[in-house]
Structure 1
Amino acid sequence: MKAVRNMFFPEEFINQVREESDIVDVISNYVSLKRGGSNYKGLCPFHSEKTPSFMVNPSKQIFHCFGCGEGGNVFHFLMKHENMGFPDAVRALAERCGRPVPEIERTPEDLAQQKIKDRIFEINKAAASFFFETGRKTSLALSYLKSRGITEETLSLFKIGYAPDSWDALTLHLKGLGFNEKDIELAGLALKKKSGDGLYDRFRNRVIFPIVDIYARVLGFGGRVLDDSTPKYLNSPETPVFDKGSSLYGLNLSYEAIRKQEYAILVEGYMDVITTYQNDIHNIVATLGTSLTRWHVRKLQRYTRNLALFFDSDDAGVKAAKRSFDICVPEGMKMKVVTLVQGEDPDSFLGKYGKNGFKDRMAEAKPIMDFMIEHTLKEMPQKTLNEKVSVAERLIPLLSMISNPIEQELYTNQVASLLRIDPGTIRASIRSGAAKLRGKEDPSKKEGTKPGKEAPVWEGALVSLMIHHPDLLQEIKGRIEPGYFSDPGLRSVVQRIFDSPGEKPGPGTIQSLIPAEDASLAGMLSRFLIEDQEPVDLQGLIDRVRQEHLKRMKKTLQEEVEDAEKQGRSREAAQLVREISNISLEVSTLQQRLGTERRNVKA
């Protein structure tokens, strides 16, 4: 089967990565799957549901959700779940299976975009070296870091540096290395002067923390003042290589420890990571001072599904825990909460109680649902009926987000016991609340709503027959053409099948039929291909495809007749009318045959 040409990597390499990346193993890192017949089933990670409609077929190496319509192969899953492009999905899976990534073929647009990114990475690397070397020669910066307990080894490991108290020291240094002002500004390291020409440095008189990805590329920087200036912390702006909402500080040094220990510690600040890491606790990352996002969570899910978060025990801490709950629990992350005394953070806590005290506090971590129940009961009275109703209304939305039915049942019983009400009442409220929530969702995200326009089911069924029963292909090719298919995606698939002389399609060729660049077509094809199809009613399917094709032709010809008559082309109009008459006769014959034989073809 001739594969679709890929614009990025050699087809042979893509096929090797795909063959070595078992789709069940990959998806199992994100979704709890259970065997059910020839497929594995689980709760869809792309929309909210209580009954599994997400299927993974190990023999065909494809997935499909019958609830939201997402589907495709292992690349499509990673692209959708991690919000990444096809090249990045290939790289991620190649890294997972230990296969070196070759040079890639790129479109001119992709080459231009990558050239910009590469240039920014070069500028960031040069800036990081400048900051680091400046810091080693600046007593003010060294004194500050020493006062925070940072050792020389840690300073070098994290490449902590210093931006001098100058308006243009970095800009002049980078220009001296051959970088132009436009790229320096694009990298977020300098800003245009409000008056006159030129740039001024963004970071001045600050300790600098380079933000590095797992490929050792400098994405951006964080800077902390050495005095009482504001803002206390300053990060790089959004650039073509830096996204604050998905970047995690320290991940470049911690991802192996996270994977090995099977959980990650998530903190807020740079110094929290540095101090903790220096105390031989290496499975730690920070969110750059921002709230946790689902992109942070999905990045961590590559290494673990277990997360420990630090919160204050005050109201702000409870609110932060609630926000994290809303993000992590629907994503399938298991979370524990570590509470500290108000005003403490991991950095200051380690300074007072040391590594052993930190580990003791970690051992006291509570599952986040326990934390939320405890603080809700502490905050809200439960003496009167109305008070109990208020507590239940606070907790039921949290219970409804728990996707594991056993865990949800246990917590439901716990809450019912604490409030002394019937667990069945809470279960009913959970179901009712879920239904109301679905009613408020965007229509494209509701259960059972398919994205985009659906291809006619008879067209998909016929394509499925061609693939699952290659012995029927010659008969089908003799009676229909690719142009008979109304859906352009299916039409292109049929064309590729027909263009393979002497080669019969089969389940092994499914991968080559699912294009990486067309997520909509991938979802559609996976729907028709996830299950084997019996070769029933081939005649009915062919008749239906032909009939609908003729109806479309008739409509087009009728429009041409109107146009010809308006322009006085009576002879042409008469010829078109005769063609319409012939088509109508054939449509009628097909309709009679379909009706008489009661073909089991869904209308």
Structure 2
Amino acid sequence: MYSKDFIRKVMYANDLAEIVGEHSVLKQKSNDALVGLCPYPDHSEKTPSFSVSSSKQVYYCFGCKRGGNAYSFLKDIRGFSFIDSVEHLARRGSIPLEKTKTPYKDFKKNTTKEENLKKDFLHLNQKALQYFSTQWANLSKTSKVTQFLSKRNIKPEGIKELSLVFSSPQWSGLVEYAVDNKLDLKKLHALGLVQIKKTSQNKVDPQAGDYYDTLRDRFIFPIHSSQGELLAFGGRAFGDEMPKYINSPEHLLFKKREVLYGLFFSAKHIRSKDYVIVVEGYMDFLSLYQAGIKNVVATLGTALTEGHARILKRYTKNVILLFDGDQAGKQATEKSLPILLQESLYVKTLSLEKGVDPDDFINQFGAQEFKKKINLAQDLFYSILNHSFESYHGGAIDKVKIIDKLQPILNSILDERLKDLYIKELADRLQQTEQWVSEAMKVSKKETAYKKTNPVSAPKLTDSPALKKTSGSEKPNSTETSTERINLNEVYPAELDLINLSLKEESYFLQLFGQKKEEICVSPQAIAFFDKLEQIYRQNSQKFDRLAGEIVNIVFPQSAIMHYMEKPMCDLKNSEANQLMSDCLNKLKTIKARNVAKNLSLKIKSEEFSQDSLEQYMKIQKAFKSPKQSDKATEE
């Protein structure tokens, strides 16, 4: 993790308007504000509602209610992690990375050795790609490589765009290239690009000359991160020899559960189409991509994981699974559903003719027929539901079996609206009530491993904090800062208005500056927010406009502190803003008084009270009947 000072320095070395301008055309609306069409893929609009503040270095969309700073924009729009965003903006702003910090999420803290190893691995992968690329010059028209490309209908355009290469049958081609270019063979071995020969006693001999190439006589797919870093390679045999595929082993850079093949190339197309097709392998990806169906990714020989689901969610909420139609493919599809549902993704499945994979289908029937199939994609839950009822005969045992099978899926759904609709459909088919289905799921044979903690219900205003409507897609990201983020879902509306007034203009902020926040605010989260805001302000009181851009890093949802950019708050006159602040402070005093009264009432009922407590309770009750006295009662 980088230091806070470095993160701040990097952010202000870049102009947010320029970053947003790469994704949306911005026009000057006022001295400080620029507006354009919202670049979020799930928000299409014709009238610009996306606003960027040049001075505060924050953005806010009045349509979809999303907001933040440069880091949150890169996370949402380009799928970057927080660390990736910092490094990207550092490069963009020509700022050297902190040498004592470790930028990559899998590195141990403050280990420059591993940071250097990452750079070495990336360099070696690039050198290996250069070596494989030289093989194209030696390709003959009669070679099996040419025949393979022709048979599989692999086009030159696809080869060039995806950096596809191949390896010769030579056992030591890469090894010799490494020796000639003074590359580290031990590190190439760690990357899985070369192997060590074994002796007659089945022992390894790591001496020079005892290495051989791993990927021989294969069509090679370079595997990139979502930012374009070359992480690993996958090699496919040209014929039927086994194994058909050889992938790089997992290492410092490469974790299969966190990488989707082709995402670096398809990300912008996924955002544009607002859905993604997930296939099983390289060839399926290649066939779809070069046929013009570019909103596609492939798993790397592994089942879809929670890591994959989180990655997909950065680009779209709509997923179409297209795995093989055999039994293994069907099982993988079913197992993927709860994983995707727990990330609030909408999941469909696409079925092709029996025994036909996407690669075969494209080559046999063409892209247009495949696009027709996409339009027929079925809700995956209903597909599983239909399959479950194929052997259903209406008996009690049949009903319990279906409940047991579908319970893990239903319990993984965070969207209560979707869950209710699925339960209604299941209840209708079982000829039972929705209540019966819900109760039956509670006593199902065991809790599913996919189930997450249920979202907390919205609290009532009179009893506990509540937040005005904000973007429901935002979640805290513990990796962004070393401190826990402040949850503004747990503050009162009056506190939220005070927060936004404080960020709107310095004069409003200074009215609260220096006061004890415990006497002003009710919720711990609001107190924490103002304490942090004052801490940042004290560090550089000449830069009030930067407060919003910095504090947004440590709150969620980030859009909660963007209401000052919205109407009616953005249009408030000074007198109106001051009146709003006064009203908020009075409301919070009333809430504090009610909370005190509630606690005293509980003490009285439990006979754990003193005469002073009783008198205080009576004063507060009297104050509620006389609003002008409420402040005095609260203070007492």
Residue aligning to 2:334 = 322
Residue aligning to 1:509 = 547
Residue aligning to 1:6 = 6
1:104 aligned to 2:143?
A: no
Q: How does 1:563-582 map to 2 (within 5 A)?
A: none
Residue aligning to 1:131 = 132
- CA distance, structure 1, for counterparts of residue 307 and residue 517 of structure 2: 50
Structure 2: segments with no counterpart, 5+ residues:
22-33, 44-58, 104-111, 198-203, 458-475, 503-507, 565-579, 591-612, 621-631
Higher relative contact order (CA 8 A, sep 6+): 1
Q: Kindly indicate whether the alpha-carbon contact (under 8 Å) linking 1:338 and 1:362 is maintained by their aligned counterparts in 2.
A: yes
Structure 1: segments with no counterpart, 5+ residues:
32-55, 65-71, 541-590
- CA distance, structure 1, for counterparts of residue 549 and residue 274 of structure 2: 32
Residue aligning to 1:141 = 145
Q: Kindly indicate whether the alpha-carbon contact (under 8 Å) linking 1:308 and 1:337 is maintained by their aligned counterparts in 2.
A: yes
- CA distance, structure 2, for counterparts of residue 502 and residue 127 of structure 1: 52
Between 468-477 and 122-131, report the one with greater CA deviation: 468-477
- CA distance, structure 2, for counterparts of residue 440 and residue 275 of structure 1: 33
Q: What is the aligned counterpart of 1:195 among 174, 198, 205?
A: 205
- Per the TM alignment, residue 475 of structure 1 is displaced from its structure 2 partner at its CA by 5.7
Q: How does 1:534-553 map to 2 (within 5 A)?
A: 534-535=584-585
SS state at 1:159 partner: coil
What whole-Å deviation, never above 9, does each CA across 1:567-597 have from its counterpart, x for those lacking one? xxxxxxxxxxxxxxxxxxxxxxxx9xx9999
- CA distance, structure 2, for counterparts of residue 502 and residue 601 of structure 1: 36
- CA distance, structure 2, for counterparts of residue 142 and residue 331 of structure 1: 43
- CA distance, structure 1, for counterparts of residue 180 and residue 155 of structure 2: 32
Q: What is the aligned counterpart of 2:509 among 460, 467, 470?
A: 470
| Paired amino acid for 2:151 | S
Matched residues, number: 497
Identity, % of aligned pairs? Answer: 24
Q: Kindly indicate whether the alpha-carbon contact (under 8 Å) linking 1:477 and 1:498 is maintained by their aligned counterparts in 2.
A: no
- CA distance, structure 2, for counterparts of residue 257 and residue 178 of structure 1: 40
Q: Kindly indicate whether the alpha-carbon contact (under 8 Å) linking 2:80 and 2:227 is maintained by their aligned counterparts in 1.
A: no
Residue aligning to 2:319 = 307
- CA distance, structure 2, for counterparts of residue 241 and residue 330 of structure 1: 27
What whole-Å deviation, never above 9, does each CA across 1:353-395 have from its counterpart, x for those lacking one? 33344334333321111211111111x3233122123223323
Residue aligning to 1:180 = 184
Residue aligning to 2:433 = 422
- Let me know the Cα RMSD of the aligned residues: 5.4
Between 529-538 and 367-376, report the one with greater CA deviation: 529-538
1:86 aligned to 2:125?
A: no
C-alpha change, 1:601 and 1:132, in structure 2 (3 Å) is farther
| Paired amino acid for 1:470 | F
C-alpha change, 1:192 and 1:276, in structure 2 (3 Å) is same
Q: Kindly indicate whether the alpha-carbon contact (under 8 Å) linking 2:221 and 2:234 is maintained by their aligned counterparts in 1.
A: yes
| TM-score when normalising by structure 2 | 0.62
Residue aligning to 2:399 = 388
C-alpha change, 1:11 and 1:303, in structure 2 (3 Å) is closer
- Per the TM alignment, residue 311 of structure 1 is displaced from its structure 2 partner at its CA by 3.4
Q: Kindly indicate whether the alpha-carbon contact (under 8 Å) linking 2:342 and 2:413 is maintained by their aligned counterparts in 1.
A: yes
Q: Kindly indicate whether the alpha-carbon contact (under 8 Å) linking 1:221 and 1:236 is maintained by their aligned counterparts in 2.
A: yes
1:401 aligned to 2:412?
A: yes
Q: Kindly indicate whether the alpha-carbon contact (under 8 Å) linking 2:76 and 2:314 is maintained by their aligned counterparts in 1.
A: no
C-alpha change, 1:132 and 1:57, in structure 2 (3 Å) is closer
Q: Kindly indicate whether the alpha-carbon contact (under 8 Å) linking 2:517 and 2:530 is maintained by their aligned counterparts in 1.
A: no
What whole-Å deviation, never above 9, does each CA across 1:296-346 have from its counterpart, x for those lacking one? 233333433222222344543332122211121222222221123443311
- Per the TM alignment, residue 476 of structure 1 is displaced from its structure 2 partner at its CA by 3.3
- CA distance, structure 2, for counterparts of residue 524 and residue 298 of structure 1: 18
| TM-score when normalising by structure 1 | 0.65
C-alpha change, 1:281 and 1:185, in structure 2 (3 Å) is same
Q: Kindly indicate whether the alpha-carbon contact (under 8 Å) linking 1:7 and 1:106 is maintained by their aligned counterparts in 2.
A: no
Q: Kindly indicate whether the alpha-carbon contact (under 8 Å) linking 1:7 and 1:107 is maintained by their aligned counterparts in 2.
A: no
- CA distance, structure 2, for counterparts of residue 203 and residue 130 of structure 1: 12
| Paired amino acid for 1:147 | K
- CA distance, structure 2, for counterparts of residue 476 and residue 374 of structure 1: 63
Between 130-139 and 527-536, report the one with greater CA deviation: 527-536
Residue aligning to 1:412 = 423
Q: How does 1:141-160 map to 2 (within 5 A)?
A: 141-160=145-164
1:345 aligned to 2:357?
A: yes
Between 182-191 and 530-539, report the one with greater CA deviation: 530-539
- Per the TM alignment, residue 164 of structure 1 is displaced from its structure 2 partner at its CA by 2.5
SS state at 2:97 partner: coil
| Paired amino acid for 2:379 | P
C-alpha change, 1:77 and 1:186, in structure 2 (3 Å) is farther
